[in-house]
Structure 1
Amino acid sequence: MKKIIVVGSTGSGKTTLCQRLHGQVISYKKTQAIETFEQAIDTPGECIENRFLYKMLLVTSVEADVIGLVQDCTKEESYFPPGFASAFAKPVIGIVTKVDLATSEEDVKQAGIYLREAGASEIFEISSMKDLGMDKLTAYLED
């Protein structure tokens, strides 16, 4: 299985995604520092929210096989600058989270647009809480 580093704003669902991927009990906890799982690396939201922390993401990404940009579809803003994926020398995918909480299909589409503009090559729409779309993401990581 490919090791994924998940990058996204605070509250976007990165930790919940990592817990789901590893079959752990889903429980909220604020990620204070980079946390390594067997097949994932969880990063604090501050790493994308503060440009001066980008270098922490770049250094940590060396340990991963794929970069996962995580965008919460219930949020109207995105912290990913256009072309952000070009900073990484690895495949970059986009993960739209919380699709079960979207108020419209347009919200999910907009999240995908943010991720495409950031440079994600493939987009996965998931709900870690409801286990929606996780099969496609897991299949990609196992390929």
Structure 2
Amino acid sequence: MKRIILVGSVACGKTTLCQRLNGLEQIYKKTQALEVINHTIDTPGEYLEHRSLLQALVVTSVETEQVLFVQDAAQERFMFSPGQAAAFSVPVAGVVSKADAATSDQIRTAGALLALAGASPVFVVSARAGQGMEALARFLEDGALPVKKEAENG
């Protein structure tokens, strides 16, 4: 798997996603500091939410091959700025998380906002339920882009 860093707000699902990607038991815990788990760097949401800490994410990402912007589909606040992916020297993909707890409109909006931030491609997942994880895992293994289904295009 590529070396990745997970970036997103508090409680957006970064740790659950990290646990699922690494085949670990899913246990809720608040990430307090940067944590390296296999090839994944899990970050505290405060690093994105407090603008003075953003530079730590950019600097840490230099040691990775891929940044994943993670957005909770049902969360109404969006912490990524338009074009924010340009601040990183490695590719940035997006992950709409908690898809099992969101409406299709919320999922569509979260995906559009991640694209506006410069994340591409954008994956829709529920790490807790396993939904969408196969396509994301395949992308992180070999860089294969997801194939859009006709229903997703509508």
TM-score category of the 2 structures, normalised to the smaller one: over 0.9
Take 1:39 and 1:130, find their aligned partners in 2: how far apart are those partners? 22
1:35-46 mapped onto 2 (5 Å cutoff): 35-46=35-46
Which amino acid is 2:98 matched to?
Answer: K
1:50-89 mapped onto 2 (5 Å cutoff): 50-89=50-89
Take 2:63 and 2:20, find their aligned partners in 1: how far apart are those partners? 20
Take 2:134 and 2:3, find their aligned partners in 1: how far apart are those partners? 16
User: Structure 1: any 5+ residue segments left out of the alignment?
Assistant: none
Take 2:47 and 2:14, find their aligned partners in 1: how far apart are those partners? 12
- What's the counterpart of residue 141 of structure 1? 140
- CA-atom RMSD in angstroms: 0.6
Take 1:37 and 1:63, find their aligned partners in 2: how far apart are those partners? 14
- What's the counterpart of residue 115 of structure 2? 116
Take 1:75 and 1:60, find their aligned partners in 2: how far apart are those partners? 26
- What's the counterpart of residue 49 of structure 2? 49
Which amino acid is 1:126 matched to?
Answer: V
Aligned residues: 142
Take 2:15 and 2:63, find their aligned partners in 1: how far apart are those partners? 18
User: Structure 2: any 5+ residue segments left out of the alignment?
Assistant: 143-154
Which amino acid is 1:30 matched to?
Answer: K
Deviation at 1:52, TM superposition (A): 0.6
For the residue of structure 2 that corresponds to 1:139, the secondary structure is helix
Which amino acid is 2:119 matched to?
Answer: A
Take 1:38 and 1:63, find their aligned partners in 2: how far apart are those partners? 13
| 4+ residue runs over 3 A deviation | none
Take 1:110 and 1:64, find their aligned partners in 2: how far apart are those partners? 28
- What's the counterpart of residue 96 of structure 2? 96
For the residue of structure 2 that corresponds to 1:63, the secondary structure is coil
